[in-house]
C-alpha cells in the first residue's frame, strides 16, 4: 500500500502594508483572524497582495518542509486593477542558500536554466550548484584555458551562446594531462548527463529525462587528442494544445571536435590555440494546424410527420 506523506505549510510571516506602502509585521496567534474585511463602503482591508513560498527538498527530490510569507494590504474603490504576486523558491536541504527557480510548469520558459541531473539507482539527482549543472564556460577573449579561476554560466533555454578561451602551449607539455583538464574545463566538473524534457519533470520518472549523447570517445581517440571545441545541439518542440503550447526538449547532443594532426602542425608555429564552447537551440516543431480529431457527424432523427402536410 502506497502512503502519501503530507508536508504542512508553515506560515513564517504576515506583513501588513498600509495605504502609503509602509510595512509592519503582524503577530498572528492561533486564534487570529486575517480574513479580508470591509472597513467602509470604499475601503477593503487584509487583501492578499503577495504570497511567497519557500520549499526545501533533499537531493532525492523529497520535500522536507514548506513555509509561506504573506503580504496583506488595503484596496480602495478607486483602484481599477488589483495586482497580486505569487512566488515559489526551491532550496536544496544541503545546498546552502542556493535557490532554484522553476524552469517552467510544465514547458520550459525562455531565459530560465535547463534542469539537469545525474542518474542514480533511485532515479535522478537534480543539480542546482553551477559547478554541477549544465553550464558553459564564461570567459574573456584572452582567458587562459589552463589558468583559473573559470567562471561558468548556466545554459538558458532558448538562448544561443558562444564563448571560449585560449590554450597556450608550452614545450614538453603532457598532451594527455592537457586533454583531460581541458575537457573538464569545457564540460564543467561533475558534468550532468541528463536533462529534464520539461521544466517540472519528476525526479523519479526516467522517461521524462533526456540523456546527453556525445560523439567523443576517449578510448577511440588518437594518442594525443585535444578537444578544440564543445558544442551542445539542443532540439526542442512545442507540445500540447494549439492555444497553449509547452516547450519540451526532445534531444540533446554534445559535439566535440578534436585535433586530427599533431599540435605542431595545428598551431602553425604559434603557441596559442583558440578553444570554443557553444550551445544552439533548434526548434523541430511541426506546423500546428487547427482542426478536429475526427470529422463531426450529425446523428439526429426527425419525427415521422416532420414534412407533413407537404409529403
C-alpha cell at 185: 574545463
Average model confidence (pLDDT) across the chain:
81
Of 33, 65, 92, the position where a domain reaches its end is 92
pLDDT value at 108 more than 80: yes
pLDDT value, residue 32: 65
Pick the closest to residue 248 from 159, 187, 158 (CA basis).
Answer: 158
pLDDT value at 200 more than 80: yes
pLDDT value, residue 31: 58
pLDDT value, residue 297: 77
Same structural domain for residues 119 and 87?
no
Examine residue 75 and state whether it is found in any structural domain, yes or no: yes
DSSP state, residue 156: B
Average pLDDT over residues 105-114: 89
**pLDDT band, residue 132 (cuts 50/70/90):** low
Examine residue 308 and state whether it is found in any structural domain, yes or no: no
Considering only residues 126 and 73, tell me which one the structure prediction assigns the higher pLDDT.
73
Q: Total structural domains in the chain? A: 2
Phi, psi dihedral angles at 57 (to 5 degrees): -135, 160
Of 92, 125, 144, the position where a domain reaches its end is 92
Same structural domain for residues 161 and 84?
no
% of the chain surpassing 90 pLDDT:
19
Asked if 148 contacts 188 with a C-beta cutoff of 8 angstroms, the reply is no
Q: Report the range of poorest mean pLDDT among 75-89, 234-248, 264-278.
A: 264-278
pLDDT value, residue 249: 96
Considering only residues 148 and 138, tell me which one the structure prediction assigns the higher pLDDT.
138
Of 23, 58, 92, the position where a domain reaches its end is 92
Instruction: Examine residue 309 and say whether the peptide bond preceding it is cis (omega within 30 degrees of 0).
Output: yes
Examine residue 305 and state whether it is found in any structural domain, yes or no: no
Same structural domain for residues 40 and 142?
no
Asked if 126 contacts 269 with a C-beta cutoff of 8 angstroms, the reply is no
Q: Which domain range does residue 149 map to?
A: 111-283
pLDDT value, residue 94: 60
pLDDT value, residue 251: 96
pLDDT value, residue 210: 95
Q: Report the range of poorest mean pLDDT among 87-91, 195-199, 254-258.
A: 87-91
Over residues 6-20, the pLDDT tens digits come to 888 888 888 888 777
Examine residue 299 and state whether it is found in any structural domain, yes or no: no
pLDDT value, residue 178: 83
pLDDT value, residue 250: 96
pLDDT value at 100 more than 60: no
What are the respective helix, strand and coil percentages of the chain, to the nearest 5? 10, 45, 50
pLDDT value, residue 273: 85
Same structural domain for residues 236 and 137?
yes
Q: How far apart are CA 294 and CA 78, in angstroms?
A: 50
Amino acid at each position: 500500500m502506497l502512503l502519501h506523506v503530507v508536508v504542512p505549510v508553515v506560515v513564517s510571516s504576515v506583513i501588513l502594508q498600509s495605504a502609503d506602502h509602509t510595512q509592519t509585521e503582524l503577530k498572528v496567534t492561533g486564534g487570529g483572524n486575517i480574513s479580508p474585511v470591509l472597513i467602509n463602503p470604499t475601503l477593503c482591508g487584509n487583501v492578499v497582495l503577495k504570497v511567497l513560498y519557500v520549499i526545501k527538498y533533499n537531493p532525492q527530490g523529497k520535500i522536507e518542509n514548506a513555509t509561506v510569507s504573506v503580504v496583506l494590504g488595503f484596496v480602495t474603490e478607486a483602484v481599477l486593477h488589483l495586482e497580486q504576486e505569487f512566488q515559489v523558491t526551491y532550496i536544496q536541504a544541503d545546498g546552502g542558500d542556493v535557490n532554484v527557480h522553476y524552469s517552467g510548469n510544465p514547458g520550459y520558459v525562455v531565459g530560465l536554466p535547463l534542469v539537469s541531473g545525474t542518474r542514480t539507482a533511485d532515479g535522478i539527482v537534480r543539480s542546482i550548484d553551477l559547478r554541477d549543472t549544465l553550464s558553459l564556460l564564461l570567459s574573456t577573449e584572452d582567458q587562459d584555458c589552463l589558468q583559473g579561476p573559470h567562471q561558468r554560466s548556466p545554459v538558458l533555454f532558448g538562448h544561443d551562446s558562444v564563448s571560449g578561451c585560449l590554450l597556450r602551449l608550452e614545450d614538453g607539455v603532457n598532451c594527455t594531462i592537457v586533454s583531460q583538464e581541458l575537457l573538464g574545463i569545457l564540460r564543467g566538473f561533475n558534468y550532468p548527463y541528463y536533462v529534464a524534457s520539461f521544466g517540472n519533470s519528476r525526479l523519479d520518472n526516467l522517461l521524462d529525462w533526456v540523456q546527453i549523447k556525445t560523439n567523443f570517445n576517449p578510448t577511440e581517440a588518437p594518442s594525443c587528442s585535444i578537444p578544440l571545441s564543445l558544442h551542445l545541439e539542443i532540439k526542442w518542440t512545442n507540445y500540447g494544445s494549439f492555444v497553449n503550447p509547452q516547450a519540451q526538449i526532445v534531444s540533446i547532443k554534445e559535439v566535440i571536435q578534436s585535433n586530427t594532426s599533431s599540435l605542431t602542425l595545428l598551431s602553425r608555429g604559434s603557441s596559442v590555440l583558440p578553444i570554443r564552447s557553444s550551445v544552439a537551440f533548434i526548434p523541430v516543431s511541426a506546423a500546428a494546424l487547427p482542426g478536429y480529431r475526427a470529422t463531426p457527424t450529425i446523428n439526429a432523427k426527425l419525427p415521422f410527420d416532420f414534412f407533413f402536410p407537404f409529403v
